[in-house]
Every structure is written in structure tokens, then in C-alpha cells.
Chains A and B, each alone.
Chain A
Amino acid sequence: MNTPPNRMASIRDRLGSALTSPERFLWGATARVCLGHVSSGTSLGGRVGELAGRSVLIVTRDQFAAALALIELDGIARRLIVCTPDLPSEHLPAVVAKAGVDAIVSDDDRGHDGLGVPLRVLCNGTVTPAEETPVTSCRTEWVLLTSGTTGAPKMLVHTFASLTAAINSGQEGRDGQERRDGQQGRDGQEGPERQKLQGADVVWGTFYDIRRYGGLQIFLRAVLGRGSFVLSGAGEALGEYLVRLGAHGATHVSGTPSHWRRALMSPEAGAIAPSYIRLSGEIADQGILNALRSFYPQATIAHAFASTEAGVGFEVHDGLEGFPASMVGAPGDVQINVADGSLRIRSARNAVRYAGEEHSTLTDAEGFVDTGDIVERRGDRYYFLGRRNGIINVGGLKVYPEEVEAAINRHPAVRMSMVRSRRSPITGSLVSADVVLKAEPSASGTIADFTREILQICHDSLAPHKIPATIRFVPALEIAEAGKLARHA
């Protein structure tokens, strides 16, 4: 199964050639499968041939089933559209249309009748021996979803090359070693420990779902490397997942700062003893970095900047929030610049384009992706201040203020509102609303009534993380010159 380097190779091909140990597993909450069986078996009832060359939507309840389908279909399907677990079904028709979906792979066949997709294949998260192994026949496009302004997802096209460039650079594989060197033998076991990190004993886990960019990166690291991977189950409690991670001896664990804060608030935090901890998807503040250092003293702690659009930008290993100013403008695989206060990234890890939107451009004239993250230089370091355009990152989930304002403005007594970010030590940010009423409240109880009614409207129409945590009633809002609300990062 060795594939010459200049020929197309799928995940399955690479899995087949990297099976130096038979004891590599994907562990789900209720099932496990040996990766060796995955490379020679099928989780699609042997119907993979029917999906060759198609644009395949993967929409599963459980990420374990999605993981198996992704391995089986890379190099076979023309395009894989990976549905995030929380995508409201009302957005599916637009996803199908924009990505030219002509097949659906799902572990739940209900609810897809109205989509008009001709081919539907069931994946149930179990692997059976395949009669024939399909031959890698194309370079599959991967389409990843991230939330957009109106609630409809933005669809970003990646290639196998863009998704794996950060892994191929070897940056990840060396993390453990480099940091251990830097730690000057604090545990006195660098030699054996280094071998352990390089070898088949690496067990990955992530609080992310693999159907989001951050989780997919960990999935690919685990599957293309030589280790195993413990996936969280749909609806599995955090504590249960931590216990399973501990039972499988997880060595490398990733999540957002909010995931990690939640882990540290769990009595099961001590169930894991990872040697490598990775944070991404949100601003890692000094508080969470210090708390992890203190709770997991044996671990190397890295915080990464990555987004679905820009890919993996960089990793910071010095245990300090922000990133060294020397990274900006430096040559290398990833080029970073700061323009108008916002971080821009150009690399082979950037997404290629938006799917189905010819008019939207992902990069500027020089090929940089504007991340929309506002940074500020203080001394020899840059620090993240927040998002441009007022986008709020609540525990790794984006909130567009306009969507929340539209809900609030449906209350008959509201003249206008402005939604902004409020710092949270638990979820990084929270949604906060300033509301201008049409008339002064008549009685003292009215403010409490309005608050309750506005929250009720929000509860009825918005996902929980978009509902304002706090509402302030103000006499007026600042309007910028262009007649729009003045939003500040």
C-alpha cells in the first residue's frame, strides 16, 4: 500500500502504509474500531463505489460515524461537505445547492426527503470487511462550515494539502520534544518520554467535534500519525469523556480555552494526565494558561491561532498569552502581517475559496486572509483584543451582533439596540445588549418586564450562546458617520 510521494494518496492509503502497530484504535463513546480494520473495511455497507466522483454531504448525529465515513471517502468522493453537529436543518437546502451535493451519507435517514438529493447512503459507525478496496481516484475537496452573518453557514473549500500542511511541516510532531528540551529535565525522563511521544503510544483526544476545523485538525493528526484517537460521543457529559480519556491514557488533548476552563471545573479533571495540551479557537488568556500549568505540571502547553478560513496560523509555546512580535513579517511557511490592527495570514494552510460564492474573495490582493482578529502590540508582544465588526466568540462559537439585535428589536417597546462583547472568564466572551426604548418606562416594574420579555423573544429564536447574558437600558446609542452603529473591537 506504499504510495509514491508524487501520486495521489488518500487518508486510507496513508493509514494502510502507517500501520506499524496493530493496536491503533478510534474509540467512540459506545464503540471502538481498530484502524487497521478501517483501512481494509467499510462503514458504508460496501457502497463506496456508488459515491465515487460525487459531491457528498456527511451529516451524522454522532461524530464517530462521520470519522469512519471521512476516512473511507477521501480520495473517492469529488467533494466532502462536512456538516457541523449544530447546523439547523433549515440551512441544509442552501448547503446542498451551493456545494452541488448529489449524495448524502448519514447515520439517520430521516429528514432528508425534501432535499432532492438522488443518492443516500447509510453509515452506522461500524466497520465490516469490504469485498474490494476502492482505488484512490481523485483529490477530494473538503468543504467545512463555519457560522455566517445571517445564521446561514459560510462554506470554506480546503484540500487535503491545505488541511495537512501544518501537520506535514513537522511542527506538531516536534512540539513535545522541543518543549521537553526547554523544560530542562524537570521530570528527568526525557529520553523515554521523547520516544513515547513520537511512537504509537500517542493517544489524541479533543473536546472539539471533528466536524469543525479545530477538531478535524486533531483527527487528521491522529489518523495520519501513528497514534490512536478518543472521540467524544454525542451528548456525552464532559466528566464521562475525561474519564474515558484517562482510561485510554490520552497523551495529547486539545480544546478551546472555554473547553479547558470547563474541564478544570469538573471533578474529573484529574482523570487525565496529558503530556501535551493544546488550546485554539479562542483567545487564550493568562488565567487559563496558568491554571493549566498548575493543574497539569507535566504537560507541554501550546496555544494555537487557527481558523477555518486561515487554517493553522501559528503555535505559541512559551506559556504566555498573545504572541511574540517577531513572528510578524518573518519569512517562513506561514506569513503573518498586521494591517489596520487586524491579523492577516498567508500560507498553504489557508482555505482555497468559498464554495458556491464566486463574488466573495477569501484573500486580499497579496494572498493574505484577513482573520478579522484585532491585535495590539505592547512591547515585544502582540495581544488579541477581540473581533472586528463586533463578532463575538462565545466559547468558540461565533455570534454576529446583527442577528441578536434583530431579535431584540422585535419587541414593540424597543427603538434600537446594540449588541457587544463582554469579557467572560468562563467562555471568553458573552453577549451583552444595550437597548434604547421608544418611551421612558412608565412604572418601576416595567424594566424588569421588558428584560424578561426581550429574553423570551431571544430564547424563542436564537441558539443559547447568542442570548444576551446582560441587558442594559440606555438613553441613546453612538452612531458612526456612515449612519451605522459604532462598533468597537
Chain B
Amino acid sequence: MSVKATVISEIQQIADDNKKSLPPLADDLVLLDSGLDSLAIAILVARLEETLGFDPFTESDDVAYPVTLGDFIRFYEHAAESHGVDSRQVG
């Protein structure tokens, strides 16, 4: 699965856990408007760390917090590259 597909799959899982329906997961969707609150986003980051093996937020003290889903996915794709992971095929 690609990084993008992994992110989307985890988002859908968290929405299912919370019995929430999601709007279409387009790149320009504002994360906080996706139906996920900051707690859910925190859980998403934790689960992605379990799945992907890294957490790009904690790898530097200088991060720009992602606003849209597209920002978020690119953030993880860049981190995957710096970890030498092919972002199209991670798991």
C-alpha cells in the first residue's frame, strides 16, 4: 500500500471507530473539517507510526503543522523518502 493509501485507510478506520461518516477525502480537505478532531488526528499519527515505523512530527523541532489532507500526506511522503522508504509501497 502507498503512504497515501495507508493514511486514508487509517483515517477511515478511526472514523469507523468513532461511528463518524467522512466527507470525500480530497487533497484540499481541511483536516479539522474532515470530522476528525485533534484527538482523532493524534490517534491517526500514533497509528501511522505503528504502521509506517516513523512519526515525521517528532523528527524535527521545526515542523509546519499540516492544514489540509494533501499537506498531511505530502508530509508523510517526504518523511518516507528520507527514511529510504518507497512511499508508493510501504506495507
- Which one of A261, A286, A394, A425 has the highest number of Cβ atoms from chain B below 10 Å of its Cβ? A425
| Interface 0/1 of B45-64, CB less than 8 Å to A | 11100100001011011111
Whether B32 pairs with A430 at a CB distance below 8 angstroms is: no
B82 within 8 A of A: no
A470 within 8 A of B: yes
**Chain-B contact segment, one of A12-20, A90-98, A226-234, A263-271:** A263-271
Whether A430 pairs with B67 at a CB distance below 8 angstroms is: no
Which residues in B have their C-beta under 8 angstroms from that of A291? 62-65
Which residues in A have their C-beta under 8 angstroms from that of B66? 265
| Interface 0/1 of A131-147, CB less than 8 Å to B | 00000000000000000
A455 within 8 A of B: yes
Question: When the two chains form the complex, which single residue of A269, A287, A455 contacts B61, counting CB atoms closer than 8 Å?
Answer: A287
A427 within 8 A of B: yes
Which residues in A have their C-beta under 8 angstroms from that of B50? 470
Q: How large is the interface on A (under 10, 10 to 19, 20 to 34, 35 or more residues)?
A: 20 to 34
Question: When the two chains form the complex, which single residue of B18, B47, B58, B67 contacts A265, counting CB atoms closer than 8 Å?
Answer: B67
Which residues in B have their C-beta under 8 angstroms from that of A455? 17
Whether B43 pairs with A425 at a CB distance below 8 angstroms is: no
A191 within 8 A of B: no
B5 within 8 A of A: no
Whether A426 pairs with B38 at a CB distance below 8 angstroms is: yes
Closest 3 CB pairs of A and B: A425-B57, A426-B42, A264-B65
Q: A470 and B47 in contact (CB under 8 A), knowing A287-B63, A290-B61?
A: yes
Which residues in B have their C-beta under 8 angstroms from that of A238? 32
| Interface 0/1 of A463-479, CB less than 8 Å to B | 01100011000000000
A313 within 8 A of B: no
Question: Smallest CB-CB separation from B63: which chain A residue?
Answer: A287
Cβ distance A404 to chain B, nearest Cβ, rounded Å: 14
Question: Smallest CB-CB separation from A261: which chain B residue?
Answer: B65
Whether B45 pairs with A262 at a CB distance below 8 angstroms is: no
A239 within 8 A of B: yes
Some 5 contacts from A to B, beta carbons below 8 A apart, are A265-B66, A286-B61, A287-B57, A287-B61, A469-B42
Cβ distance A394 to chain B, nearest Cβ, rounded Å: 7
Whether B58 pairs with A425 at a CB distance below 8 angstroms is: yes
Which residues in A have their C-beta under 8 angstroms from that of B15? none
- Which one of B32, B42, B61, B63 has the highest number of Cβ atoms from chain A below 10 Å of its Cβ? B42
